[in-house]
Structure 1
Amino acid sequence: MARTTPHDHPPAEEEPLYRRIATQLLGELREGRIPPGERLPGERRLAEHFGVSRETVRQALELLRRDGLVATDRRGSHATLSGLPVEAPASLAFPVGAAAAAPGTVARATVTWEPPPPDHAEVLGLAPGRPTLVHTYRYATADGRGLRTAVTSFSAVALAEVEELARYRDRADGTATAHLRRAYDWMRRAGLTLHHRDAITRLASTPSVRVTRQVHDQYARPLEITDLVVDAQKDALVYEFTLPGRAD
């Protein structure tokens, strides 16, 4: 049973303690201490952090849930605030070909739970017709030029071991924005070593090129496959690689 401390119940004229804790927690979320979409610490750790009881933390979380600022599922609670994490993005960007937002450009990314393209299913070891998490990315200038589109399918292994990805299954209706910029960071944090292979081919009779990226883990298990198509008339693909330093 949750412990209740005397200061959890202030006089009626004062703001309830759980509201103050909710405000403090919301402030930390907005500062980016816990990036959007990532799981919050458990109630016990939050109680220790704020110096209150778990019951007070539970009430604060419920208040934030009612306001749509926190969501809870079987894996725990996580922030639903929009915005970018404060950490610098990894040089291995997701999806391959993702471009930085700039004035005069439009970027759109969504997720769906559906059967992937047949060639994706084969690479990922999925039975025909079996659904998985599919991410679609579209980028273009305001006049429609410089178009690049990417379709990514995730494997059952990725969804089983990377909780941040698995969390998207329940809201993969193709309507909400879901850039998943930190997908590779989430995979690494789950203990997966990433090996990627990019193949570039020019599409016949068009100025476009196709980039196909396959990502496996240290056990050669497939994690995701992405097909990127770029209108390459006046565009360029830039690949950045970081090599480990030599230990003397």
Structure 2
Amino acid sequence: MARTTPHEPAPSDDRPLYGRIAALLLDELRDGTIPPGERLPGERHLAAHFQVSRETVRQALELLRRSGLIATDRRGSHATLPGLPVGAQGTPVFPLGARSADPSAVDLATVTWEAPPPEHAQALGLAPLRPTLVHRYRSATPDGRSLRTAVTSFSAVALAEVAELARYRGRADGATPAQLRRAYDWMRKAGLCLHHRDSISQADASSMRVTRRVHDQYARPLEITDLVVDAGRDALVYEFTLPAAG
């Protein structure tokens, strides 16, 4: 929340102070100052930001919570407004390389809380049959010419360090749509430096498989993805943007 100028609700506004603060906070949620899905700053920060007491902030948050505009768990409160959050410039979109270049392609993504494939568990250092967050992604054109599927398993480290990922455990029913486009941005914001290693192999006569392993600056595994692409009809393209030096 970069804006630091004092907030002064109109004198004619007869709502209680906490209602006015809730409206101001809602404006910031809607204009993207606090992106959808992001954790809200703490009560102390919000109190200083709006120049009110923490009790007033607490009442404003409760008002928004009752309206279904924010949700609160053990890690704090976060916005639940619909919309596409703004990603950090240069951060790859998750799952990297899984989206077809065809604009007519339709994608579907869900998450489950389950034991990952054995090879994933081994790569992530998970005990056999220990459940974790598993993301499944499918992108296909209406005529079936372009098909890509990806299965990603996240490590215990990723779920412990990245609050935005951990929150998905509560909705990991395998049916609710769960786009994690900003997963790598969330990891970076959590202070993790990401190292990607991709291995490409032939899946079968018409498809190729990309196995991606991502770890942090301490060599701790964060996620492993198996991406399968129809090699005969589609091209696998990786695009990176690197900021200029200085």
Give 1:40's aligned amino acid: L
Q: Distance in 2 between matches of 1:161 and 1:87?
A: 19
Q: Which runs of 5+ in 1 are unaligned?
A: 1-6
Partner of 2:33: 33
The answer on whether the counterparts of 2:100 and 2:139 sit within 8 Å (CA) in structure 1 is no
Q: Distance in 2 between matches of 1:39 and 1:221?
A: 24
Aligned-residue offset at 1:230: 1.3
Partner of 1:223: 222
Give 1:210's aligned amino acid: R
Task: Give deviations 1:99-154, integer Å, cap 9, x for gaps.
Answer: 27975331111111110011101111111110001111111122333111111000
**TM-score normalised by length of structure 2:** 0.87
The answer on whether the counterparts of 2:157 and 2:221 sit within 8 Å (CA) in structure 1 is yes
Give 1:163's aligned amino acid: A
Partner of 2:61: 61
Give 1:219's aligned amino acid: Y
> In structure 2, do the counterparts of structure 1 residues 55 and 148 end up closer, same or farther at CA, with 3 Å as the change threshold?
same
Q: Which runs of 5+ in 2 are unaligned?
A: 1-7
> In structure 2, do the counterparts of structure 1 residues 245 and 29 end up closer, same or farther at CA, with 3 Å as the change threshold?
closer
Partner of 2:187: 187
> In structure 2, do the counterparts of structure 1 residues 101 and 62 end up closer, same or farther at CA, with 3 Å as the change threshold?
farther
> In structure 2, do the counterparts of structure 1 residues 45 and 245 end up closer, same or farther at CA, with 3 Å as the change threshold?
closer
Seq. identity, %: 74
Partner of 1:237: 236
> In structure 2, do the counterparts of structure 1 residues 84 and 246 end up closer, same or farther at CA, with 3 Å as the change threshold?
closer
Partner of 2:73: 73
Partner of 1:138: 138
Q: Distance in 2 between matches of 1:193 and 1:133?
A: 21
Please identify, of 79-88 and 210-219, the stretch whose mean Cα deviation from structure 2 is larger.
Answer: 79-88
**TM-score normalised by length of structure 1:** 0.86
Aligned-residue offset at 1:211: 0.8
The answer on whether the counterparts of 2:29 and 2:35 sit within 8 Å (CA) in structure 1 is yes
Please give the secondary structure, in 2, of the residue aligned with 1:188. Answer: helix
Q: Distance in 2 between matches of 1:87 and 1:181?
A: 8
Give 2:175's aligned amino acid: T
Aligned-residue offset at 1:192: 1.6
Please identify, of 137-146 and 154-163, the stretch whose mean Cα deviation from structure 2 is larger.
Answer: 137-146
Please give the secondary structure, in 2, of the residue aligned with 1:93. Answer: coil
